Chain A
């Protein structure tokens, strides 16, 4: 059956498919050629290899450009475009469409490998063959993830240029038979609202550049094993390792910033499996950078260099497997969809593990070192210990994160710890304490051996100062767990000792103080994380609640009625003034007031506009708003709001408006009751009413309820509903106060008690708009962000120094 579909542009897809296959084949050719170039040292092989890699790069870039073009032009005949974009999306989020889907993020990753590959070709010299062989191998695997061909009944990868009507999910749907189906598709599915955030336009590319950078030390290590140059690879790989530490670290921190700004869990780190999956390789890469330094100065720890380079890359593959195989399922907020790639990913992982293991075992004898042990007072000894502490931290994180994998492997039923943060902190706080102490003392140790006396002399001042600061901090920190005080001390020490190192030992030469600056950064990050987490204060205390104990914090959300409530929260008084709709967002104006003690007036300090993004398909998403101060942040998040607000139900004719179900009140004279907007007092019962109105006889009864109504602005209204018994039948004449939307009916008299029953109805619009919100103060969060900046700056300085040293080819004579 041949249907002539209307309006499709199929040429682009054909070009795209051609490029995908070219990219794959060129990577294959490049790997083979580099392999022979490595074996034979024949220049013509290398020429071929470079050409193949060039074609590969052009194809990947072409795929990128083509996909971009299709998204920009809303070519919804392509599944990828339809799934990840729509027509109302602002231009700035179009790039984000790339990383929402698996195919696009693989493309991005491959693109970075290409870019880094060309830097290697330009700079690596004799290492080009080996390193580029490994990179090309990796590219073969990545390119196979977007091939989308079926081989022996197994579908390999997912092609980004699949047509909507060819997608297996839609195989039997009626639209396939409609020639004009394209004109019926009004719009694409659009981007997940969580990704529509500026951090999401820069976090994924940075993180993927970090991922891509781990392949280079790995490729150098494998090349070193293949060329049997077991130590020479370390020096050229070193600047790359520092580069990776910086970029991957920046990427992770950007993710943390995104979580802090736009996710609802209230914090920058939640030990989410996906976060862990990128943190672990960063930690092993930091370990690698330090054993590389050990090698540089002492020509030892060669095996550790190999193992850490390989392990770092392995963890990148493992994290890819965790996030993309769908195995995390319910346990993570931002794992990718399962596209049936787990088998493929496992093969990918095992191929590189097997390759590394084979080469390591084959060369094990040559890698064994025999030399005297490190001295206890040597810098290399403590750097090695620091690396081990990091590895221990990684082991614990990896183990807990891998619970879903163990469930699958051993068919268990384990779920993540109920208090995950507590579980991780139990382990990672001691790790952080050790790391901070080592960061503090590290540089005061000399390579080989240090005079203890001199060491003590240099370190004492920093130690005393840190103790003093910790002692003083007790006034602020107050009652606190002991290990938090220890971490506070350790991080303070890391900062002070490194700062003093810059001034006393390096004499303020910033070009040489990359390590110290980065270490100060790490110290500040941990200090900021400690303070903001342990001293965070939920000020939206819900006091209407039963205490369920420490395990069930159920006092964190508070309800505010629009214009009615002014609730005390911490030092503030908070009101909810209005809501407004801007495009797909509903913004809630939350105003914070503070009491001026002189005048006794509540003065407005600032307002925040947390919002809810409406998204029919993926569900509404609430996004917090945060007020930043120098010493603290105030985080405000809407946890519940009725999106179909009552006000919108206003009809043209006010009288037509429906009342809410009536509520009955039993009242004696003088009693008061409350409606949503006023107080009502039954002042008296009036019997001297004009009987003629109802043509009553003497035996009949007439009573009026004299009501005084006071609204929130203290304005007084009066109302007189009437109760009549005429010829033994009951009649009532209800009254209403239109200004307040109230209706009163005098419905009963209890002769025994003299009480009356008043049935009160309120208009639906009277139901005040309300929200349920959460407000948290994060103190000291800026310490963390300053730390992040310093860590990045320090790494850049350190990379610069390494690159300059390597350029001066080997005659580096560092102390």
Chain B
């Protein structure tokens, strides 16, 4: 248990996707997630979050490396063609790692 690595996946995407994304993440079996509103600029231009259609979110998921791979692959297959989305993952040290084994 002690040596098992834990991953943090961070997803930046369109706020319009939020409810659908949450359903996907739950269905894939992630142990949990945190969503925050975000603003910024990328290759889709400035997304100022001044109103709904122009808002971004940041979704963070702490999970096992296998789950991280599953989620990343699913997102890439499902959303990368048509949505503004950036996903990356880090290895993290987390307190109570047993909470995030799935």
Q: Answer yes or no: do A and B interact.
A: no
**B residues bordering A, Cβ < 8 Å?**
none
